[in-house]
A and B are shown apart, each in its own frame.
Chain A
Amino acid sequence: MDLLEIKGLKKSFGELEVLKGIDLSVAENEVVSILGPSGSGKSTFLRCISMLEKPDEGSMVYCGKQAAHFEGGKMLYAPNSELKEIKSYFGLVFQNFNLFPHYSVLKNLTDAPVHVQKRSKAEVEQEAYALLEKMGLRDKANAYPHQLSGGQQQRVAIARALAMKPKMLFFDEPTSALDPELTAEILKVLRALADEQMTMVIVTHEIGFARSVSDKVIFMDGGVIVEQGAPSDVIDNPSNDRTRAFLKKMEEK
Chain B
Amino acid sequence: MKQKRVISLFLAAAVGFGVIAGALTSCKDKKEEKRTKLIVGFDAEFPPYGYKNEEGEYVGFDLSLAEEVCKRNGWELVKQPIDWDSKDMELKTGSIDCIWNGFTVTGRESSYTWSTPYVDNSQVTVVLADSGIESLDDLADKVVAVQADSAALAAFESEDATEENKAYAASFKELQQVPNYNTAFLNLESGAVNAICMDYGVAKYEIEARGSKFVMLEKPVSTEQYAVGFLKGNYELRDEVQKTLIEMLDDGTFAQIAKDWELSDSVCLSADDTVLDGSTKKTESFSDKMLRICKQLLKGVGASLLIFALTLIFSLPLGLLIAFGRMSRFKPLSLLMKLYISIVRGTPLMLQLLVVFFGPHFIFGVSTSSEYRFYAVVIGFTLNYAAYFAEIYRSGIQAVPVGQYEAADILGYTRQQRFVRIVFPQMIKNIIPSITNEVITLVKDTSLAFAISYTEMFTLAKQVAAAEATIIPLFVAGVFYYVFNFIVAFVMSAIEKKLEYFR
Contacts A100-B407, A144-B501, A144-B502 given; does A112 touch B413 at CB 8 Å = yes
Q: Is the CB of B421 within 8 A of A115?
A: yes
By a CB distance below 8 angstroms, the chain A residues around B348 are none
The stretch of A13-21, A89-97, A131-139 in contact with B is A89-97
Q: Is the CB of A146 within 8 A of B502?
A: yes
Secondary structure of the A side of the interface? loop
Q: Is the CB of A116 within 8 A of B429?
A: no
Interface residues of B in 232-265 (CB under 8 A from A): none
* A94–B403 CA distance with the chains assembled, in angstroms: 9
Q: Is the CB of A112 within 8 A of B406?
A: no
Least distance between A215 CB and chain B CB atoms (Å): 24
By a CB distance below 8 angstroms, the chain A residues around B422 are 100
Least distance between B248 CB and chain A CB atoms (Å): 80
Among B410, B417, B429, residue most surrounded by chain A Cβ atoms (within 10 Å): B410
Least distance between A94 CB and chain B CB atoms (Å): 6
By a CB distance below 8 angstroms, the chain A residues around B162 are none
Q: Is the CB of B403 within 8 A of A101?
A: no
* A100–B503 CA distance with the chains assembled, in angstroms: 10
* A117–B425 CA distance with the chains assembled, in angstroms: 22
* A52–B411 CA distance with the chains assembled, in angstroms: 12
B384 within 8 A of partner (CB):
no
* A78–B254 CA distance with the chains assembled, in angstroms: 96
Q: Is the CB of A52 within 8 A of B417?
A: no
A88 within 8 A of partner (CB):
yes
Q: Is the CB of A115 within 8 A of B417?
A: yes
B365 within 8 A of partner (CB):
no
Q: Count residues of chain B with CB under 8 A from any CB of chain A.
A: 19
Residue-wise, chain A 18-60 has the 8 Å CB interface mask toward B (1 for contact) of: 0000000000000000000000000000000011100000000
A164 within 8 A of partner (CB):
yes
A248 within 8 A of partner (CB):
no
Q: Is the CB of A52 within 8 A of B407?
A: no
Interface residues of B in 394-434 (CB under 8 A from A): 401, 403-404, 406-407, 409-413, 417, 421-422, 425-426, 429
Task: Look across to chain B and name the residue whose beta carbon is closest to the beta carbon of A117.
Answer: B412
A102 within 8 A of partner (CB):
yes
Secondary structure of the B side of the interface? helix
Contacts A101-B503, A102-B502 given; does A52 touch B410 at CB 8 Å = yes
Q: Count residues of chain A with CB under 8 A from any CB of chain B.
A: 27
Task: Look across to chain A and name the residue whose beta carbon is closest to the beta carbon of B409.
Answer: A52
* A115–B502 CA distance with the chains assembled, in angstroms: 21
Task: Look across to chain A and name the residue whose beta carbon is closest to the beta carbon of B424.
Answer: A102
By a CB distance below 8 angstroms, the chain B residues around A112 are 411-413
Partner of B413, one of A88, A98, A116, A144: A116
Least distance between A104 CB and chain B CB atoms (Å): 9
Contacts A88-B412, A144-B502 given; does A98 touch B429 at CB 8 Å = no
* A99–B412 CA distance with the chains assembled, in angstroms: 15
* A103–B429 CA distance with the chains assembled, in angstroms: 13
Partner of A94, one of B406, B421, B429: B406
Interface residues of A in 75-91 (CB under 8 A from B): 84, 87-88, 91
* A112–B407 CA distance with the chains assembled, in angstroms: 11
Q: Is the CB of A102 within 8 A of B429?
A: yes
Contacts A102-B426, A102-B429 given; does A94 touch B412 at CB 8 Å = no
Least distance between B92 CB and chain A CB atoms (Å): 57
Q: Is the CB of A84 within 8 A of B412?
A: yes
A111 within 8 A of partner (CB):
yes
Q: Is the CB of A101 within 8 A of B502?
A: yes
Interface residues of B in 62-86 (CB under 8 A from A): none
By a CB distance below 8 angstroms, the chain B residues around A115 are 413, 417, 421
Task: Look across to chain B and name the residue whose beta carbon is closest to the beta carbon of A90.
Answer: B410
By a CB distance below 8 angstroms, the chain B residues around A87 are 410, 412
Task: Look across to chain B and name the residue whose beta carbon is closest to the beta carbon of A100.
Answer: B422
* A146–B499 CA distance with the chains assembled, in angstroms: 13
Q: Is the CB of B417 within 8 A of A146?
A: no
Task: Look across to chain A and name the residue whose beta carbon is closest to the beta carbon of B503.
Answer: A146
By a CB distance below 8 angstroms, the chain B residues around A88 are 412
Among B403, B407, B409, B417, residue most surrounded by chain A Cβ atoms (within 10 Å): B407
* A112–B409 CA distance with the chains assembled, in angstroms: 10
Least distance between B404 CB and chain A CB atoms (Å): 6
Least distance between B105 CB and chain A CB atoms (Å): 68
By a CB distance below 8 angstroms, the chain A residues around B401 are 98
Interface residues of A in 130-176 (CB under 8 A from B): 144-146, 160-161, 164
Contacts A102-B426, A111-B421 given; does A91 touch B410 at CB 8 Å = yes
By a CB distance below 8 angstroms, the chain B residues around A164 are 411-412
Q: Is the CB of B417 within 8 A of A116?
A: yes
Residue-wise, chain A 112-123 has the 8 Å CB interface mask toward B (1 for contact) of: 100111000000
Least distance between A49 CB and chain B CB atoms (Å): 12
Task: Look across to chain A and name the residue whose beta carbon is closest to the beta carbon of B404.
Answer: A98
Q: Is the CB of B503 within 8 A of A98?
A: no
Task: Look across to chain B and name the residue whose beta carbon is closest to the beta carbon of A96.
Answer: B403
Task: Look across to chain B and name the residue whose beta carbon is closest to the beta carbon of A101.
Answer: B502
Interface residues of A in 198-246 (CB under 8 A from B): none
Residue-wise, chain B 332-351 has the 8 Å CB interface mask toward A (1 for contact) of: 00000000000000000000
Contacts A116-B417, A146-B502 given; does A101 touch B410 at CB 8 Å = no
Residue-wise, chain B 379-401 has the 8 Å CB interface mask toward A (1 for contact) of: 00000000000000000000001
* A115–B503 CA distance with the chains assembled, in angstroms: 23
By a CB distance below 8 angstroms, the chain A residues around B503 are 101, 144, 146
By a CB distance below 8 angstroms, the chain A residues around B502 are 101-103, 144-146
By a CB distance below 8 angstroms, the chain B residues around A94 are 403, 406-407
By a CB distance below 8 angstroms, the chain A residues around B421 are 111, 115
By a CB distance below 8 angstroms, the chain A residues around B425 are 102
* A112–B406 CA distance with the chains assembled, in angstroms: 13
Q: Is the CB of B403 within 8 A of A98?
A: yes
Q: Is the CB of B426 within 8 A of A116?
A: no
Among A88, A91, A100, A146, residue most surrounded by chain B Cβ atoms (within 10 Å): A100
By a CB distance below 8 angstroms, the chain B residues around A98 are 401, 403-404, 406-407
Among A111, A144, A146, A164, residue most surrounded by chain B Cβ atoms (within 10 Å): A111
* A92–B409 CA distance with the chains assembled, in angstroms: 10
- Name 17 A/B residue pairs within 8 A (Cβ), A-sorted: A52-B409, A52-B410, A84-B412, A91-B410, A94-B403, A94-B407, A98-B401, A98-B404, A100-B407, A102-B502, A103-B502, A112-B411, A112-B413, A116-B412, A116-B413, A145-B502, A146-B503
Chain B interface (Cβ < 8 Å from any Cβ of A): 401, 403-404, 406-407, 409-413, 417, 421-422, 425-426, 429, 501-503
Q: A52-B410, A112-B411, A146-B502 are in contact. List 6 more A-B contacts (CB 8 A).
A: A87-B412, A98-B404, A101-B426, A102-B426, A144-B503, A146-B503
3 closest A-B pairs by beta carbon, nearest first, are A98-B403, A112-B411, A98-B407
